[in-house]
Amino acid sequence: MVFKQPGNGTICPHYAEYIWRELLKKGGFVVNAGWPTANAPGPILQSANKYLKGSIDVMRKKLEKYKSNLDKVDKNGAPVTSLVQGKKLIALIYVKEQFDEWKAECLRILQNNFNVESCTFAPDKVILKALQSSSLGQAKGLRQIQNLCIPFVKLKKKDAVQLGAQALDMKLPFGEVQVLEENINLIKKQLGLEEVQVLSATNLDDRAKVGPHINPIIVILLAHIWNFYKMILLSILS
């Protein structure tokens, strides 16, 4: 271990120089060596970071809206605040990691119109025509396609140019559950929650955790930056 301090100085200089030259077999002097530099984060890591920040930001806004409703009264005229005083606020984050329905159809069309070698797409008019000709287009019509699909298509095209064909997979290029679980302490600190659980929206056992014994339940639909949906259940438990 080489001891250094700010300003390119060394602690125990003679010992540090011995380790540097004799044990680590480095050239020159450690006193002149710079600090190690970390590699720049890759595009997938940057996407995961953007996803986490975006999710926390949306959850914070939803929580603020929920808390503002505590000043209201229930149907019996009692202040809503009295229902949560002395109770534990738990967030159950239900994650659906795979795109489906119209998003899946959009991704299949983009996959068929993407050149992997050049990371380029067919012209927009070709993609729009494919959308119109698809089962999605037959069901939705041009106006709905433009309002519903085009923003999602533009976003995924941008991702594919940066990340390659994997950006067009039915899943995001990183594990959503893993990212959220690894940052549970950050989520709790940022949102002021006592407990956070990350669960699967397709797992029946996980879905059963929001049972009738939880009262009341405030359900929030969270649409994050990938236009992908999660369900956040803020459960007031005794």
Question: Tens of pLDDT along 74-121?
Answer: 556 655 555 455 566 777 888 888 888 889 999 999 999 999 999 999
Provide the residue ranges of all domains of the chain, joining segments of one domain with +: 1-37, 44-98+173-237, 101-168
CA pair distance 228, 225, nearest whole angstrom: 7
Q: State the pLDDT at residue 55.
A: 86
Phi-psi region of 20 (alpha: psi -120 to 50; beta: other; left: phi over 0): alpha
pLDDT grade for 60, boundaries at 50, 70 and 90 = confident
Tokens 């059963």, residue? 208
Q: What is the mean pLDDT of residues 116-139?
A: 91
Q: What is the pLDDT of residues 165-196, one digit of tens each?
A: 999 999 888 888 999 999 999 999 998 888 88
Distance CA 17, CA 20 (A): 5
3-state secondary structure of 173: coil
Q: Are strands 229-237 and 88-95 parallel, antiparallel or unpaired?
A: antiparallel
Q: What phi and psi values does residue 132 have, to the nearest 5 degrees?
A: -65, -35
198 membership: H or E segment, kind and range: strand 195-200
For 142-168, the pLDDT digits (tens) are: 788 888 889 999 999 998 998 899 999
Please state, in angstroms and as integers, the Cα–Cα distance from residue 216 to each residue in 19, 47, 65, 237, following that order: 63, 35, 16, 8
Give me the residue label for tokens 């438990």.
237
136 pLDDT band, cuts 50/70/90, is: confident
pTM of the model: 0.66
Q: Are 127 and 110 in contact (CB under 8 A)?
A: yes
Residue 217's nearest CA partner among 55, 56, 66, 65 is: 66
Q: Is the dihedral of CA 168, 174, 180, 181 positive or negative?
A: positive
